[in-house]
Protein backbone atom coordinates (compact mmCIF):
# COMPACT_ATOMS: atom_id res chain seq x y z
CA UNK A 1 0.00 0.00 0.00
CA UNK A 2 1.40 3.37 -0.97
CA UNK A 3 1.58 5.63 1.99
CA UNK A 4 2.89 9.09 2.58
CA UNK A 5 5.85 8.26 4.79
CA UNK A 6 8.31 8.93 1.96
CA UNK A 7 7.42 12.59 2.16
CA UNK A 8 8.47 12.90 5.79
CA UNK A 9 11.72 14.51 6.79
CA UNK A 10 14.04 11.72 7.92
CA UNK A 11 15.09 13.61 11.08
CA UNK A 12 11.52 13.38 12.34
CA UNK A 13 11.55 9.63 12.46
CA UNK A 14 12.34 9.62 16.15
CA UNK A 15 13.16 12.76 18.04
CA UNK A 16 15.10 13.09 21.23
CA UNK A 17 11.91 13.20 23.23
CA UNK A 18 11.12 9.72 22.10
CA UNK A 19 8.36 10.74 19.73
CA UNK A 20 8.20 7.99 17.22
CA UNK A 21 6.73 8.60 13.84
CA UNK A 22 4.43 5.92 12.57
CA UNK A 23 6.50 3.38 10.77
CA UNK A 24 3.82 0.83 10.19
CA UNK A 25 1.20 2.88 8.45
CA UNK A 26 -0.37 -0.33 7.30
CA UNK A 27 -1.80 -0.59 10.79
CA UNK A 28 -3.35 2.80 10.45
CA UNK A 29 -4.51 2.13 6.96
CA UNK A 30 -5.88 -1.23 7.94
CA UNK A 31 -8.40 0.62 10.03
CA UNK A 32 -9.75 2.44 7.02
CA UNK A 33 -12.91 0.41 7.16
CA UNK A 34 -13.71 2.74 10.04
CA UNK A 35 -13.57 5.62 7.65
CA UNK A 36 -15.78 3.91 5.14
CA UNK A 37 -18.36 3.35 7.87
CA UNK A 38 -18.87 7.03 7.70
CA UNK A 39 -19.25 7.25 3.96
CA UNK A 40 -22.99 7.43 4.27
CA UNK A 41 -22.63 10.48 6.45
CA UNK A 42 -22.52 12.77 3.48
CA UNK A 43 -24.72 10.89 1.08
CA UNK A 44 -28.03 12.18 -0.12
CA UNK A 45 -29.72 15.46 -0.81
CA UNK A 46 -29.38 18.37 1.54
CA UNK A 47 -31.35 21.24 0.14
CA UNK A 48 -34.97 21.87 0.92
CA UNK A 49 -37.40 19.52 2.53
CA UNK A 50 -36.93 16.30 0.68
CA UNK A 51 -38.65 12.92 0.65
CA UNK A 52 -41.02 12.10 3.50
CA UNK A 53 -41.64 15.83 3.46
CA UNK A 54 -44.55 15.55 5.80
CA UNK A 55 -42.74 17.22 8.65
CA UNK A 56 -44.28 20.45 9.87
CA UNK A 57 -43.21 23.39 7.76
CA UNK A 58 -42.84 27.15 8.08
CA UNK A 59 -45.93 28.94 9.36
CA UNK A 60 -47.19 25.99 11.40
CA UNK A 61 -47.70 26.41 15.10
CA UNK A 62 -45.11 24.29 16.91
CA UNK A 63 -47.07 21.69 18.90
CA UNK A 64 -46.44 22.12 22.60
CA UNK A 65 -45.14 19.19 24.59
CA UNK A 66 -43.72 18.36 27.97
CA UNK A 67 -40.91 15.82 28.26
CA UNK A 68 -38.34 14.75 30.77
CA UNK A 69 -34.93 16.33 30.41
CA UNK A 70 -33.47 14.61 33.44
CA UNK A 71 -34.82 11.76 35.52
CA UNK A 72 -36.60 14.24 37.79
CA UNK A 73 -37.05 17.32 35.65
CA UNK A 74 -39.64 18.00 32.98
CA UNK A 75 -39.61 20.79 30.47
CA UNK A 76 -42.30 22.18 28.17
CA UNK A 77 -41.76 23.85 24.85
CA UNK A 78 -44.13 26.62 25.98
CA UNK A 79 -41.59 27.60 28.63
CA UNK A 80 -39.46 28.88 25.78
CA UNK A 81 -42.08 31.37 24.54
CA UNK A 82 -40.37 34.70 23.96
CA UNK A 83 -37.19 32.96 22.85
CA UNK A 84 -36.17 31.17 19.72
CA UNK A 85 -35.82 27.44 19.83
CA UNK A 86 -33.88 25.02 17.67
CA UNK A 87 -35.57 21.64 17.96
CA UNK A 88 -33.26 18.90 16.77
CA UNK A 89 -34.80 15.44 16.49
CA UNK A 90 -32.33 12.62 16.07
CA UNK A 91 -32.61 8.83 15.96
CA UNK A 92 -30.52 7.70 18.90
CA UNK A 93 -27.96 8.57 21.52
CA UNK A 94 -24.54 7.02 20.92
CA UNK A 95 -24.87 6.32 17.21
CA UNK A 96 -21.85 7.84 15.43
CA UNK A 97 -23.64 10.29 13.17
CA UNK A 98 -25.85 11.73 15.90
CA UNK A 99 -22.78 12.03 18.07
CA UNK A 100 -21.16 14.17 15.45
CA UNK A 101 -24.28 16.24 14.89
CA UNK A 102 -24.88 16.90 18.57
CA UNK A 103 -21.16 17.51 19.19
CA UNK A 104 -21.21 20.12 16.45
CA UNK A 105 -24.30 21.81 17.86
CA UNK A 106 -22.80 21.68 21.33
CA UNK A 107 -19.78 23.51 19.97
CA UNK A 108 -22.05 26.07 18.32
CA UNK A 109 -24.12 26.90 21.41
CA UNK A 110 -22.47 30.32 21.81
CA UNK A 111 -23.27 31.11 18.19
CA UNK A 112 -26.87 29.92 18.54
CA UNK A 113 -27.28 31.99 21.70
CA UNK A 114 -25.76 35.02 20.03
CA UNK A 115 -28.59 34.66 17.54
CA UNK A 116 -31.08 34.41 20.40
CA UNK A 117 -31.80 30.71 20.10
CA UNK A 118 -31.99 27.83 22.54
CA UNK A 119 -31.08 24.32 21.43
CA UNK A 120 -33.07 21.27 22.44
CA UNK A 121 -32.31 17.72 21.30
CA UNK A 122 -35.10 15.13 21.16
CA UNK A 123 -34.88 11.37 20.71
CA UNK A 124 -36.82 8.35 21.94
CA UNK A 125 -34.02 7.35 24.30
CA UNK A 126 -34.79 7.17 28.01
CA UNK A 127 -33.71 9.74 30.57
CA UNK A 128 -30.86 7.69 31.98
CA UNK A 129 -29.48 7.06 28.55
CA UNK A 130 -29.68 10.79 27.78
CA UNK A 131 -27.97 11.59 31.04
CA UNK A 132 -25.07 9.24 30.38
CA UNK A 133 -24.77 10.47 26.79
CA UNK A 134 -24.81 14.14 27.77
CA UNK A 135 -22.26 13.62 30.52
CA UNK A 136 -19.98 11.55 28.34
CA UNK A 137 -19.98 14.16 25.58
CA UNK A 138 -19.99 17.28 27.78
CA UNK A 139 -23.21 18.54 26.27
CA UNK A 140 -24.43 21.86 27.60
CA UNK A 141 -27.96 21.74 26.28
CA UNK A 142 -31.09 19.78 27.10
CA UNK A 143 -31.78 16.35 25.65
CA UNK A 144 -35.45 15.49 25.90
CA UNK A 145 -36.85 11.99 26.16
CA UNK A 146 -39.67 11.23 23.73
CA UNK A 147 -39.96 7.91 25.48
CA UNK A 148 -43.49 7.33 26.75
CA UNK A 149 -45.68 7.20 24.78
CA UNK A 150 -42.79 6.47 22.49
CA UNK A 151 -42.28 8.95 19.70
CA UNK A 152 -45.43 10.94 20.46
CA UNK A 153 -43.71 14.31 20.04
CA UNK A 154 -41.81 13.23 16.94
CA UNK A 155 -45.13 12.07 15.48
CA UNK A 156 -46.71 15.45 16.21
CA UNK A 157 -43.92 17.10 14.22
CA UNK A 158 -44.23 14.54 11.44
CA UNK A 159 -40.79 13.02 11.82
CA UNK A 160 -41.43 9.73 13.62
CA UNK A 161 -40.24 6.70 11.68
CA UNK A 162 -42.65 3.93 12.51
CA UNK A 163 -40.58 1.25 10.84
CA UNK A 164 -37.40 1.90 12.81
CA UNK A 165 -39.15 3.18 15.90
CA UNK A 166 -36.99 6.30 16.08
CA UNK A 167 -37.26 10.01 15.39
CA UNK A 168 -36.07 11.07 11.96
CA UNK A 169 -33.27 13.57 11.70
CA UNK A 170 -35.47 16.66 11.57
CA UNK A 171 -34.62 20.24 12.45
CA UNK A 172 -37.08 22.97 13.38
CA UNK A 173 -36.38 26.62 14.07
CA UNK A 174 -39.20 28.10 16.13
CA UNK A 175 -39.70 31.82 16.67
CA UNK A 176 -40.48 33.78 19.82
CA UNK A 177 -44.22 33.22 19.32
CA UNK A 178 -43.93 29.46 18.97
CA UNK A 179 -44.31 29.40 15.19
CA UNK A 180 -42.06 27.26 13.00
CA UNK A 181 -40.03 29.46 10.66
CA UNK A 182 -37.83 26.78 9.08
CA UNK A 183 -37.66 23.02 9.04
CA UNK A 184 -35.54 20.43 7.36
CA UNK A 185 -35.57 16.66 7.23
CA UNK A 186 -32.24 15.02 6.59
CA UNK A 187 -31.87 11.41 5.44
CA UNK A 188 -31.45 9.17 8.47
CA UNK A 189 -27.75 8.54 7.88
CA UNK A 190 -26.81 12.10 7.05
CA UNK A 191 -25.67 14.65 9.57
CA UNK A 192 -27.39 17.82 8.37
CA UNK A 193 -24.76 20.15 9.79
CA UNK A 194 -25.64 23.59 11.10
CA UNK A 195 -25.51 25.87 8.08
CA UNK A 196 -29.27 25.64 7.48
CA UNK A 197 -30.04 26.52 11.10
CA UNK A 198 -27.68 29.50 11.13
CA UNK A 199 -29.01 30.76 7.78
CA UNK A 200 -32.58 30.51 9.10
CA UNK A 201 -31.74 32.33 12.34
CA UNK A 202 -29.98 35.09 10.44
CA UNK A 203 -32.95 35.56 8.12
CA UNK A 204 -35.12 36.31 11.15
CA UNK A 205 -35.20 39.88 12.38
CA UNK A 206 -32.78 40.77 15.17
CA UNK A 207 -33.16 38.61 18.24
CA UNK A 208 -35.22 39.97 21.08
CA UNK A 209 -32.42 40.03 23.57
CA UNK A 210 -33.99 37.85 26.19
CA UNK A 211 -31.78 36.65 28.96
CA UNK A 212 -30.90 33.53 27.05
CA UNK A 213 -27.73 32.63 28.88
CA UNK A 214 -29.09 32.50 32.38
CA UNK A 215 -32.27 30.86 31.19
CA UNK A 216 -30.38 28.18 29.35
CA UNK A 217 -28.17 27.47 32.33
CA UNK A 218 -31.33 26.22 34.02
CA UNK A 219 -32.11 23.91 31.18
CA UNK A 220 -28.83 22.09 30.95
CA UNK A 221 -29.48 18.40 31.19
Partner 1 sequence: MSTLRVPVTSLDHVQGPEDAPVTLVEYGDYQCPYCGLAYPVVKAILAQLQGRIRFAFRHFPLTEAHPLAETAAEVAEFAGEHGKFWPMHDLIYENQHRLSLPGLFALAGALGLPQVEMRDALGAHRYAGKVQADFMSGVRSGVNGTPSFFINGVRHDGGYGYPELMAGIEQAMMAEA
Taking the least distance from each CB to partner 1, the nearer of 21 and 217 is 21
Binding to partner 1 by CB under 8 A, coded x per residue (else -) over 165-204, reads --------------------------xxxxx--x------
Task: Say whether 129 is catalytic.
Answer: no
By CB under 8 A, which span of 24-32, 54-62, 81-89, 212-220 interacts with partner 1? Answer: 24-32
DSSP states along the chain = ---GGGGS-GGGSB-TT-PBPPS-HHHHHHTHHHHHHTGGGG-S--SSS-SS--S--TTSBPPP-EEEEETTEEEEGGGGTTSEEEEEE-S-TT-HHHHHHHHHHHHTHHHHHHTTEEEEEEES--HHHHHHHHHHHT--SEEEE-TTTTTHHHHHTT-EETTTTEE-EEEEEE-TTSBEEEEEEE-TT----SHHHHHHHHHS-------HHHHHHHH--
First to last CA, the chain: 47
Q: Does 53 bind partner 1 (CB under 8 A)?
A: no
Q: Does 50 bind partner 1 (CB under 8 A)?
A: no
CB of 120 to partner 1, least distance (A): 17
CB 163 within 8 A of CB 171: no
Applying CB under 8 A, among 24, 42, 53, 213 the residue interacting with partner 1 is 42
Applying CB under 8 A, among 34, 51, 211, 214 the residue interacting with partner 1 is 34
CB 133 within 8 A of CB 90: no
Q: Does 138 bind partner 1 (CB under 8 A)?
A: yes
Applying CB under 8 A, among 49, 63, 64, 100 the residue interacting with partner 1 is 100
Catalytic-labelled residue, pool 56, 77, 98, 143: 98
CB of 29 to partner 1, least distance (A): 6
CB of 107 to partner 1, least distance (A): 5
Q: Please list, in sequence order, all residues whose beta carbon lies within 8 angstroms of the beta carbon of residue 70, skipping any fewer than 6 positions away.
A: 127, 130, 131, 221
Applying CB under 8 A, among 10, 17, 51, 162 the residue interacting with partner 1 is 17
**Residues designated catalytic:** 98
Binding site for partner 1 (CB under 8 A): 2-9, 12, 15-17, 19-22, 25, 28-29, 31-32, 34-36, 38-39, 41-43, 46-47, 97, 100-101, 103-104, 106-108, 111, 137-140, 191-195, 198
Amino acid sequence: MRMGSAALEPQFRRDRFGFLLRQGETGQFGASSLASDRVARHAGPREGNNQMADILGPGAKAPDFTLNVTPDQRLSLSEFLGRRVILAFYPADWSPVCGDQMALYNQLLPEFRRLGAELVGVSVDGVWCHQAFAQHRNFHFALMSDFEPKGEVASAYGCYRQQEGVAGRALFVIDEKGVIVWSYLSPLAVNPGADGILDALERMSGPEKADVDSASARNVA
